[in-house]
Amino acid sequence: MRILAAYPCIQRRLPLLLLCCSVLVPVSRAHAQQDEGEAIDAMEDQIARIQRQQMELQKDLLAMRQELARHRAHLQAAHPTPTREAARQEPGTALHHGWNAAGSRLAEGSVGHGPGHAHPAPMDVPPPVIDDRPTVAAVVARREEDMVTRLAENGVGPHPRETVGAQAAGALGDHGVFHVGPATIILGGFFDTAGIFENRHIASGTFNYWADMPYPNESRFHQDSFEAGARFSRFSLMARGNIDAFTTISGFVETDFGAGAETTNPYESNAYVPRLRQAYLAYDNSRSNFHFLAGQAWSLLTPGRAGIVARQESLPETIDAAMLVGQTWTRQWQIRLVKDLMAHRLWLGLSIENPATLYDTTGFTNNNGTVNLPNGGVATIGSNGTGLTEFSTNYSDEIAPDIIGKIAWDPAWGHYEAEGLLRFPHDRVVANGVGRNYTAVAGGGGGSAILPVIPHKVEIRLAGLAGVGINRYGSVLLPDATLSSSGRPAPLPGAQATAGIIAHPNPLIDVYGYFGTQRSGRRYFSAEGGNYGYGNPLYSNAGCQMELSTLDCTANTRAVEELTVGAWWRFLKGRYGTVEAGAQLAYSRRQIWKGIGGDPATSVSQLFFDFRYLPFQ
């Protein structure tokens, strides 16, 4: 008893000590012949170990208290605490009567120091006003992105993770959450089966490839098509560890079966292969408000829903795996630095990302990235893959990463972003045995906004991007550049935009409608009796309107537009997860640059359907 009296912290851990004693007593009986002093030493070692654990817990608790006090001070500065008399006179003013910030009842007379630390509150000091907004300390056990988006509540909040648009790790509460030592493993994803009916045959399944939308000169323009599959089933895993109460390190990986190998066919095995969607590590510190990400993830240009936080991208709810015409996005390697200010309201982000320039070489002779010029020279814009890269894909020659900056703002209503992009298309030209490297400067800017017309019920989303050499960041994959007469990179002007309205009439139903557009400018020249570049008015489109015409149909795309509506219904939802069904109706139109024979347009109408089982949501 003297030992217990000397260590008050042990008294609070008496049940743990009793458990230790229940282990030590049998051991002492089995070694009754041992020196009594050794048994006492073993007991003291156990007590010392418990003391160290208690000290570590106290350190964590102290850090959480400090953070809680900091946020209380911020809230009280913004909303001065009313006196008791004022509180009695103003209905609805809540005083702190024995409740802590996390909503737990405190001991009588305590002021929020937690169990076992009740201290009488001075009678002349009015208790603080209750504020139901969570603090870092109150939600520190949650994932970092959940914590930050709740602190920066903007009327939008994190997208409901059980919807298709979440595109996140997927776990809620304890669904798919496992603890392995000090790390937490969170499973996510869904089992998917989707199909499409369309009035044109575009052999891309439920991934829309608008640039291949056929004209009447092709027989597939006149053929209806049906295709279905399970290849976009998705699986993800996140490993997360808490360095301390404010710092986390995490790794995230996500895959589906959207890739096709050379042996993939729809006749027997349908053997689509796994592909890497995302794989990155992230470091987040909510005390210094600093965030670091490295690996393959959604580009910083991708619109977000709250702050600049991974796994909180604002993506359309569409079934179409290509999402939406005009949607700004890529998934690629990057190193991202983010700083948030003003209590998680203002965010500054900078990212360097993997470059890849889409060239159009209409009119030129292009042999796997080696392009013959009309003056007899040769321009090298890239080469086909080798080793572990895809040998049938041309990888552009790049000299520097893409540089992207973003500012995000979360006021009390809505989410707003502005961003800029800088790119450096690069090639090498050899003429008369003399070679020279050329680098062009390209880039642009844009922004996005989410307007919560009825918070968490109805929202409007707007986004856009414009510039030169930026087209690869849009879903249509229009070209970024062509070549000048000297063989230098010639970036193409481009613009893209989306607008949508999304409604959540109840927790089981989402309804959406979107319009998207993506447009490309042109760069061209004529020399030595030939026509070159993108959108040259001397190209022939004369054969576009007649089936199996022998005339040319060059058809350089000028613009693609899409109008789509759809809905999701979560008809089963419980501890076992969520089962949902979706349907989407889409109409897309493709226009080409005017040439000889005019500028005919083509279109496609599509009906998508989908069933998904989300076991962790």
Q: Is residue 580 over pLDDT 90?
A: yes
CA dist., res. 330 & res. 611, Å (int): 26
pLDDT single digits (tens) 119-150: 444 445 454 444 444 444 433 344 455 555 55
Q: Is residue 75 over pLDDT 70?
A: no
pLDDT single digits (tens) 241-263: 888 878 889 899 999 999 988 88
pLDDT band at 226 (very low <50, low <70, confident <90, very high): very high
pLDDT single digits (tens) 158-190: 555 444 434 344 445 567 788 888 888 888 889
Q: Is residue 446 over pLDDT 70?
A: yes
pLDDT band at 32 (very low <50, low <70, confident <90, very high): very low
Q: String of b and e for 151-163 (b: at least 16 CB within 10 Å)?
A: bbbbbbbbbebbb
Written as six digits, the tokens of 122 are 């001075």
CA dist., res. 178 & res. 240, Å (int): 10
CA 194 to mean position of chain CA atoms: 22
User: What domains, with CATH codes, occur in the chain?
Assistant: 136-614 (2.40.160.10)
pLDDT, mean over the chain? 82
Q: For residue 403, what are the β-bridge partners?
A: 352, 422
| Residue reference for tokens 């001075």 | 122
Sign of CA dihedral 317, 322, 328, 334: positive
Backbone angles phi, psi at 111, to 5 degrees: -125, 30
Amino acid at 583: A
pLDDT at residue 300, rounded to an integer? 98
Instruction: Give CA separation, 40 vs 5, 28, 54, 197, 509, in Å.
Output: 17, 10, 21, 79, 65
Please, which contacts does 66-73 make with residues 24 or more away whose CB atoms are closer than 8 Å?
67/135, 67/136, 67/137, 67/245, 67/246, 67/287, 68/101, 68/112, 68/135, 68/136, 68/137, 68/138, 71/101, 71/135, 71/136, 71/137, 71/343, 72/101, 72/128, 72/135
pLDDT single digits (tens) 507-546: 899 999 999 999 999 999 999 899 999 999 999 999 999 9
Residues near 458 by Cβ (< 8 Å), separated by ≥ 6? 452, 501, 502, 503, 504
Residues near 334 by Cβ (< 8 Å), separated by ≥ 6? 293, 294, 295, 296, 297, 299, 300, 351, 352, 353, 354
Q: For residue 279, what are the β-bridge partners?
A: 253, 296
pLDDT single digits (tens) 298-338: 999 999 988 898 888 899 999 999 999 999 999 999 999 99
Residues near 91 by Cβ (< 8 Å), separated by ≥ 6? none
**Under 8 Å between Cβ of 100 and 106:** yes
CA dist., res. 521 & res. 363, Å (int): 17
CA dist., res. 24 & res. 44, Å (int): 12
Backbone angles phi, psi at 468, to 5 degrees: -125, 135
pLDDT at residue 159, rounded to an integer? 57
pLDDT band at 63 (very low <50, low <70, confident <90, very high): low
pLDDT band at 455 (very low <50, low <70, confident <90, very high): confident
CA dist., res. 254 & res. 189, Å (int): 8
HEC-encoded secondary structure of 190-247: EEEEEEEEECCCCCCCCCCCHHHCCCCCCHHHHCCEEEEECCCCEEEEEEEEECCCCE
Q: Is residue 478 over pLDDT 50?
A: yes
CA angle 271, 272, 274 (to 5 degrees): 125
Tell me which residue of 462, 564, 464 sits closest to 511, measured CA to CA: 564
pLDDT band at 155 (very low <50, low <70, confident <90, very high): confident
HEC-encoded secondary structure of 295-326: EEEECCCCCECCCCCCCCECCCCCCCCCCCCC
Tell me which residue of 395, 404, 401 sits closest to 467, measured CA to CA: 404
CA 131 to mean position of chain CA atoms: 30
DSSP string, 473-503: GBTT---SEEE-TTS-EEEPEEEEEEEEEEE
CA dist., res. 209 & res. 215, Å (int): 14
Q: Is residue 100 over pLDDT 70?
A: no
Residues near 25 by Cβ (< 8 Å), separated by ≥ 6? none
CA dist., res. 177 & res. 162, Å (int): 16
Tell me which residue of 339, 332, 303, 310 sits closest to 417, measured CA to CA: 303
pLDDT band at 151 (very low <50, low <70, confident <90, very high): low
- pTM recorded for the entire structure: 0.77
pLDDT band at 101 (very low <50, low <70, confident <90, very high): very low
Tell me which residue of 344, 300, 361 sits closest to 487, measured CA to CA: 361
CA dist., res. 338 & res. 404, Å (int): 12
Instruction: Give CA separation, 294 vs 80, 147, 297, 327, in Å.
Output: 42, 21, 8, 23
